[in-house]
């Protein structure tokens, strides 16, 4: 059985350098968004330095994970249900909202689940949660927009 392909594995080479999710960014976080039914799932274990205060995950890291997982989900959702063989489009972030519901413990693996809320040709709105085990710690929303010509 081969590993499931992530959305980010399918981005064109020239737009795969993102600090959050680019497979070609050697210093980055390498978020990988995997389809799972009508959701997309990503797992990430923060590094020890990704702290807010000792014992808890830095909110900016959580925002970064939500950003990239949301944008990847938006790109995949824009292809519709039968995306075989289509090139994965690149979206970027138009806006990002993050609600920190509970302090996120530093150490365990985080699970991100994303669900498209509105899918348009140029804009896709996505809801994202971050959980540790059964506990939902963070909720976010990403408005992703198709990458403008000026950025590629």
Instruction: In whole angstroms, give the CA distance from residue 142 to residue 73.
Output: 10
CB of 130 to a copy of itself, least distance (A): 13
For a copy of itself, the closer of residues 17 and 115 by Cβ is: 17
Burial 12-30 (b: 16+ CB within 10 A, else e): eeebbebebbbbeeeebbb
* Closer to a copy of itself by Cβ: residue 21 or 80: 21
- 60 scored as a contact of a copy of itself (CB under 8 A): yes
Write the CB contacts of 94 (distance below 8 Å, at least 6 apart in sequence): 123, 143, 144, 145
Q: Which of 2, 53, 80, 81 lies at the binding interface for a copy of itself (CB under 8 A)?
A: 53
Nearer to a copy of itself among residue 3 and residue 129 (C-beta): 129
Q: How is residue 16 written in tokens?
A: 């795969």
- Token readout for 93 is 């972030």
Instruction: Lay out the site mask for a copy of itself across 116-135 (x = CB under 8 A, - = otherwise).
Output: --------------------
Kindly tell me which of 34 and 62 has the beta carbon lying closer to a copy of itself. Answer: 62
On whether the CB atoms of residues 124 and 144 are closer than 8 A, the answer is yes
Asked if 41 touches a copy of itself (CB under 8 A), the answer is: no
């Amino acid at each position: 059985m081969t590993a499931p392909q992530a959305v980010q594995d399918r981005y064109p080479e020239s737009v795969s350098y993102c600090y959050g999710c680019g497979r070609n960014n050697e210093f980055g976080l390498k978020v990988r968004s995997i389809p799972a039914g009508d959701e997309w799932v990503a797992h990430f274990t923060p590094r020890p330095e990704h702290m807010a205060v000792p014992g808890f995950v830095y909110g900016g890291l959580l925002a970064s994970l939500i950003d990239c997982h949301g944008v990847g989900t938006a790109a995949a959702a824009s292809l519709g249900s039968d995306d075989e063989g289509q090139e994965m489009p690149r979206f970027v972030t138009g806006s990002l909202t993050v609600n920190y519901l509970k302090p996120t413990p530093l150490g365990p693996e985080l699970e991100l689940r994303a669900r498209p809320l509105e899918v348009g040709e140029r804009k896709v709105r996505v809801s994202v949660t971050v959980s540790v085990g059964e506990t939902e710690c963070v909720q976010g929303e990403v408005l992703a927009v198709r990458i403008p010509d000026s950025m590629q």
